Amino acid sequence: MVEVAHAILEAKNEVLDFNQLLVEIQEYMELSDEALESRMARFYTDLNIDGSFISLGDNRWGLRAWYPIDSIDEEIATSMEDEEVKKPRKKRKKVNAFGSDDLIDYNDDDPEDEELIDDEDLDSDDLDDDIDVDLEDDVDEEDEIDAYRSDLNELGADEDLEDEASVEEDLIIIDDEDLDKDFDEEDEEE
């Protein structure tokens, strides 16, 4: 049947609808309706598999040899545009089977979410509370330092602290620029 279809398309030299092609084949091969119907599915599969035929959309068939590759895309695109002109389908509305009372908001119970406070949200009372806490922390630190010093005095560690203070006075602060100059001078000497 494929060979007959190829010969019919060559002879007519035009694109044919699949049903027209079947009628032409039926007349040429003198097939009964039952015989044609029993072979129709296999014939359609063979048309798709055979590389010499091309479907141009809308169940229209032609010979691939008639079309260069670029025009095939144009022909198919033109037939697709014709389909778009057809009456658009109405979209079905989606209905929620559950009422809004049944919905669970999973964002509300996430323990990893933290509530971030903007500066605009803070009242002046909130800022005062933070300052009071900071001052209390400073007082606690000073008390701890005083207690530490008194323990050191009892142990006689004052002498060691005075020695460390004199060492710190002997130290010199060197800028990065001075270090770079020293390295440059050493490189020149080598």
Full pLDDT tens readout for the chain, 190 residues = 888 988 988 898 888 898 898 899 899 889 888 988 998 889 889 888 888 888 888 888 888 887 776 555 555 556 555 556 566 666 666 666 666 665 666 666 666 666 655 555 555 555 555 555 555 556 678 888 888 888 888 877 555 555 555 666 667 777 777 777 666 666 665 5
In whole angstroms, give the CA distance from residue 32 to residue 49: 25
**Coil/strand/helix, residue 127:** helix
Last residue of a domain, which of 67, 85, 103? 85
Q: Are residues 76 and 125 in the same domain?
A: no
Q: Which residues does residue 16 pair with via DSSP β-bridges, in sequence order?
A: 61
Flag whether 22 is in a domain: yes
Q: Are residues 61 and 12 in the same domain?
A: yes
Task: For residue 32, report the phi and psi dihedrals to the nearest 5 degrees.
Answer: -80, 165
**How many domains are there within the chain?**
2
Flag whether 143 is in a domain: yes
Q: Which two tokens stand for residue 83?
A: 């389909």
Is residue 27 within 8 Å of residue 35, measured between CB atoms?
no
In whole angstroms, give the CA distance from residue 47 to residue 52: 8
Q: Which two tokens stand for residue 102?
A: 């049944």
Flag whether 110 is in a domain: no
Number of alpha carbons in the 13 Å side-chain half-sphere of residue 161:
9
Flag whether 108 is in a domain: no
Is residue 11 within 8 Å of residue 3, measured between CB atoms?
no
Identify the domain containing residue 138 by its residue range: 121-189
In whole angstroms, give the CA distance from residue 73 to residue 56: 9
Q: Are residues 71 and 12 in the same domain?
A: yes
